[in-house]
Amino acid sequence: MLFRELLTEELNKQREEFSRFAQSQAGDLDYYVGELTRFAEKSFADIFGILHDCADCGAMPSEETSLTQDFSLNFREHWKNHEEARRWAFEILKNRTTFAADGSQIVLEREISFRVGGVQIGWFENPHDPAKGYEKNARFIVIPPQDFGADADVGRADSYVGERRFTAEIEKVKEFLDKKRGWQAAGEPLPLAFYDGTLLLSVTEFQRNITAQLVELARLSRDCRVPVIGYVDRSYACDLMTMLDSFKGAKAELARSLDDVSILHASTLKNWGDRTPFCYSRRHGLDAFFDPQTDESLVGFVYLQTTSDNPPARIDVPSWIYTEGLLDEVLDIVRAECVIGLGYPYALETADQTAVITVRDREIFLRALQDFAVREKLEFSVSRKSASKGRRR
């Protein structure tokens, strides 16, 4: 257990270090807020002329930039209370299908005599129609010992299970996109799928497969004409900071204690529902998302203020949604879900609750494995430490 008095004593010892960090961060924040203000004063033609041929400039703003004074597009709706906000949200979502998928994972290797894992995927599909029932369901996938191979590295085992989880989440979203193909001919309102996390994943050794699947997801969304967005509640991306440094013509001088949301929260996104203009992604390492048909990234992003006081959320958006004029409608759906979910999309919140694996669930999984091993006469043993933890917690 954590002893509060020991923690307080240790924090007091490091008071000066925290103070120096805060002062440094404040100076860096003032610098980038000033740079964003100066950037927003430039014409789109000037911005395009400087950044268009810069491959790794973090972001390339769209022509929406010309509609802003401070790199912010104000939300047009205003309400007196939350009851009015909920009425607006219900009208936006009426008869409109939203979907979200999320996942959890578990790896057992120190507790038992062999390595085994599990992935649980939860999803929530809501037609927002009293005549139609919603679907809230989950699927559990057991990852058997042989799938892990001979590698005994714990980190690689976690990465492998994580990859299986992301793959299952993406596949579930793809199922929804395929299912909703042809929504226009059916006379339905624009549907929307939420993906929990970024759609713009840089390629690394362990992420190459997931990156390829996210590219496929963006392309499928475009081909089906069914929107999907990647929702990041607290992003640590620095794409706009890189853009500001690139526009200035300086080598990136990013303050690593800052990120895009820190700057936007301090300067431009002042009111609930406000957003930045759509930006195409130009981050280094995202070549897999380059679309030769449009000479731009398959996926861009906006930052959206979904609470009155917390930093904005980052919304990754397939570029076709912007170019076909659907961005405002899609973001209104996101806003409406956040009204119902009190600052976080209700669809994602419900999918998360359905997918989560608790400490208690871990014990249930372990006991089920024990019973299975006994029934099938398998060689199986549980560590004394794990058994003790199960009794004490």
Q: What is the pLDDT of residues 300-324, one digit of tens each?
A: 999 999 998 899 999 999 999 999 9
What number is the average pLDDT over the span 17-37? 76
Q: Name the nearest CA neighbour of 207 among 269, 92, 286.
A: 286
What number is the average pLDDT over the span 316-334? 98
User: Does position 210 have pLDDT exceeding 80, yes or no?
Assistant: yes
Q: What is the pLDDT of residue 391?
A: 40
User: Does position 392 have pLDDT exceeding 70, yes or no?
Assistant: no
Distance between CA 260 and CA 303 in Å, rounded? 9
Q: What is the pLDDT of residue 28?
A: 84
Quote the pTM value.
0.89
**H or E element that contains 299:** strand 299-304
Q: Which residue type is seen at 180? A: K
Query: At CB < 8 A and 24+ separation, what contacts does 328-331 make?
Result: 329/190, 330/190, 330/192, 330/227, 330/229, 331/275, 331/302, 331/304
Distance between CA 367 and CA 310 in Å, rounded? 41
CA atoms within 13 A on the CB side of 64: 21
DSSP state of 327: H
Distance between CA 151 and CA 359 in Å, rounded? 26
Report the Cα 347 to chain-centroid distance in Å: 13
CA dihedral 145→167→151→147, nearest 10 degrees, is 30
Max mean pLDDT range (101-105, 149-153, 246-250): 101-105
201 — pLDDT class (breaks 50, 70, 90): confident
**H or E element that contains 105:** strand 98-108
153 — pLDDT class (breaks 50, 70, 90): low
